[in-house]
Structure 1
Amino acid sequence: MTEQILTKIDQGRRFLVASHSGPDGDAIASTLALTNGLRALGKEVVAYNQDPVPDSLQFLPGSNLIVHQVDDGAFDVVFVLDAGELHRAGTHLRDAGSFLINIDHHPYFEAFGDINYVDEEACATGGLIYRILKKRPAALTPDVALCIYTAILADTGSFRYSNANPEAFRIAADLVEIGGINPWDVAGGLYESQDEKRLRLLALSLATLTVSSCGKFATMTLTSEMMSQTGSEAQHTDGFVNYPRSIRGVEVAILFRQTGPRSYKVGFRSKGKINVGELAHQLGGGGHHNAAGANLEGDLDQVRAMVFDRLNIEVGA
């Protein structure tokens, strides 16, 4: 599969690299890793996302060059990274080029590409980009190494999650040897440069913490009013769901974030026993075994009931 992708890279001149909306660390860092790598090979490359780059990722090289609009038919090859389904990145991307390559590690995915390089055992989409670019050594510049390292660090929760597999550590070691990476600077960029409004929002959300009588699941809620009160945006909520998961005995954590008068984005995290990817899939969403999400319609009580009905069955509460 990587050889097929490399053939398209060798043959192409102009490339588009995109990832899913509401981008996380793996999405943005993978986008920039491939973008910078292709540029190092002398290619013309445009990086795209529907949404802005989160503040915590703006230290990555090239983050200021990501565009939010693209023209139809302008590219030889379109790469869509970490999306799961094409609509998460934008169905219009199918018309942006003559060939579409899907690179992902989600277990529930839509085979929307002319090439679908999907490996759910990969530590991160950034790890898949490394597998490709390492076969073109000129592409593995210090900037590319920094982006791939950041993608893996972010998606493995600083090597704490179950996807922190042996390959993740091997790639990280290789990247540090390439140079251009100060692990403290990367960690500082991701975790030690928070906006004050994020902490004020977290304080409001923590006040909504609930734990089930069985102690196996916990929830937090974010309302539109809380977001407005603190002047926060969706990017400021990243990682909130990990707080209820950190409670001793909790197996599944859930964050209900209001996105409209009768709509909620529901984030799930588990500690390993419960497959929240399957749970989210049942609710029309998707994700991984330990991290997933879905968008649900209804008022908060209705949305909570939809989730709890399934969660109670899964957990046996």
Structure 2
Amino acid sequence: MMTETIRNIVEAIRESRNALVVSHEGPDGDAVGSSLGLAAFLRAIGKEVVVHLADPVPELYRFLPGADLVTAVIPDRDFDLAFVLDVGEFRRAGQQFCSFGRIGRIINLDHHLTCEQFGFINLIDVEAAATANLVWRVAAAYGFSPDYATALCLYVGILTDTGSFRYSNANREAFTVAGELLEAGGFTAWDVSEKLYESQPRKRLELLVRALPTLEFIRNGQAASLTVTTEMYAATGADAELTDGFVNYPRSVQGVEVAIFFRQLDERRFKVGFRSKGAVNVATIARQFGGGGHHNAAGGIVEGTLDEVKRIVYGAVESIQW
């Protein structure tokens, strides 16, 4: 059923000539997939589209149609609409976009628990498995039949944000829409899985080899952490985008309810990611560090040496009830 919010978005699209599409810094599969899927849909119905990401498209997702058209610099021109996808907080769209003023209306699509309602229109549904699902709701309400590019990009957004349909957010809509996209797009599940999971660069495994010995357990094995430092990057030639999925290793251990991933940004700053198996709302932990996210996946930035950061974060995890 078309909600009033989606009806308003569809009407805004019909009235527009062009659009700017943005997502969050450090884009993941849903950020890239939903952005490129929305752009493919809008281009297919005759709109001019610019996709801007503050950080480059990770190598893992560069096979997606339209990835080569993503720009790091927003053109100095007027846009009727700006679609802001999956950011949670407005600032996460990047400094360049946040200071850009040549936009008619902002449309905010998101599924984060902590999402800010900064748009002229806000389509926020924390029950949606991925922002790609929200993009598909809009495209379907428009009456659009998915082409290859739209279907593939949105499928990747759903697949990655549900952990290949392993996570608790893999609800009925996620499976239904994924099936529709597979059928309409003319590709197979293996086509995508082979590119995402069977083609990783060697240096990712070399980085993982260095990270796994950092595995630590707290709370009698109920929580576990993994760490990647800048020294590890230098030794392997890997970078931050290749750490995607590392947090799942401590979470996969029997008895672990919360996994923590420490990723060094510079000498005294660490990005801390949290994953839960469901018993703990890790977004509440991340908020203590100025971050946010979902019940089962969240993160924030903590300053200090590695030992100091661990002491702060472990203290926060130890203090919660579950």
TM-score if structure 1 supplies the norm length?
A: 0.97
d(CA) in 1 for partners of 2:319 and 2:138? Answer: 41
What is the CA distance between 1:213 and its match in structure 2?
5.5
Secondary structure of residue in 1 paired with 2:72: coil
Aligned residue number for residue 235 of structure 1: 241
Aligned residue number for residue 115 of structure 1: 121
Aligned residue number for residue 172 of structure 1: 178
What is the CA distance between 1:193 and its match in structure 2?
1.0
Aligned residue number for residue 300 of structure 2: 294
What is the CA distance between 1:92 and its match in structure 2?
3.9
Matches within 5 A, 1:5-84: 5-84=9-88
Matches within 5 A, 1:99-110: 99-110=105-116
Aligned residue number for residue 266 of structure 1: 272
Q: Structure 2: any 5+ residue segments left out of the alignment? A: none
Matches within 5 A, 1:204-243: 204-212=210-218, 214-243=220-249
Which moves more between the two structures, 25-34 or 296-305? 296-305
d(CA) in 1 for partners of 2:187 and 2:112? Answer: 27
- How many pairs does the alignment contain? 316
Matches within 5 A, 1:128-207: 128-138=134-144, 140-207=146-213
Which moves more between the two structures, 175-184 or 228-237? 175-184
d(CA) in 1 for partners of 2:184 and 2:25? Answer: 30
Which moves more between the two structures, 178-187 or 2-11? 178-187
The answer as to whether partners of 2:54 and 2:96 remain within 8 angstroms in 1 is no
What is the CA distance between 1:283 and its match in structure 2?
1.6
Q: Which segments of structure 1 move beyond 3 Å, counting only runs of 4 or more?
A: none
d(CA) in 2 for partners of 1:214 and 1:315? Answer: 14
Matches within 5 A, 1:244-263: 244-263=250-269
What is the CA distance between 1:315 and its match in structure 2?
4.8
What is the CA distance between 1:180 and its match in structure 2?
2.3
The answer as to whether partners of 2:51 and 2:71 remain within 8 angstroms in 1 is yes
- Over the residues paired in the alignment, what is the CA RMSD in angstroms? 1.3
d(CA) in 2 for partners of 1:104 and 1:73? Answer: 26
The answer as to whether partners of 1:40 and 1:139 remain within 8 angstroms in 2 is no
Q: Structure 1: any 5+ residue segments left out of the alignment? A: none
d(CA) in 1 for partners of 2:137 and 2:276? Answer: 28
What is the CA distance between 1:73 and its match in structure 2?
4.7
What is the CA distance between 1:219 and its match in structure 2?
0.7
Distance 1:98 1:72, change over 3 A: farther
The answer as to whether partners of 1:26 and 1:152 remain within 8 angstroms in 2 is yes
The answer as to whether partners of 2:219 and 2:318 remain within 8 angstroms in 1 is no
d(CA) in 2 for partners of 1:69 and 1:180? Answer: 33
What is the CA distance between 1:138 and its match in structure 2?
3.5
**One of 309, 318, 321 as aligned partner of 1:303:** 309
Which moves more between the two structures, 132-141 or 41-50? 132-141
d(CA) in 1 for partners of 2:10 and 2:25? Answer: 26
User: What's the % identity of the aligned pairs?
Assistant: 51
The answer as to whether partners of 1:73 and 1:98 remain within 8 angstroms in 2 is no
Secondary structure of residue in 2 paired with 1:84: coil
Which moves more between the two structures, 163-172 or 299-308? 299-308
> CA offsets per residue over residues 187-232 of structure 1, 9 Å max, x none?
1111111011111000100011111251101111111100111111
> CA offsets per residue over residues 121-146 of structure 1, 9 Å max, x none?
10100000010001233452121111
d(CA) in 2 for partners of 1:16 and 1:139? Answer: 22
